[in-house]
Amino acid sequence: MLKGFYAHGEFESLYAKTFVDPQTNIEVGSHQTYSGYFGLGKRYDISKKIRGSAIVLYRAEFEGDIPSMSKINLRVGFDYNTKKRTRIKASSQK
């Protein structure tokens, strides 16, 4: 049941020269935010060459605030394997 699940974490630093405060619609000066994303992901096979992944992440802000962004994120992705499979020849015994 737990096969294919993994933990994921990342750190982000966002710097904006000017931005508009969504509550007052007033342009504010530079703004810097440090945040991290933490969550769980699942990998699954769609076909022999296509593999999918889905990650649910929670955004934790360490410094600064971005009120217009959601705290929960969902990322869905697909990987296409272009490598050819190599067959292992069975050694014959005499």
Average pLDDT per block of 10 residues along the chain, 94 residues long: 81 79 75 87 88 90 75 90 74 54
pTM over 0.75? The answer is: no
Tokens 């974490």 belong to residue: 9
CA distance 9 to 64: 19
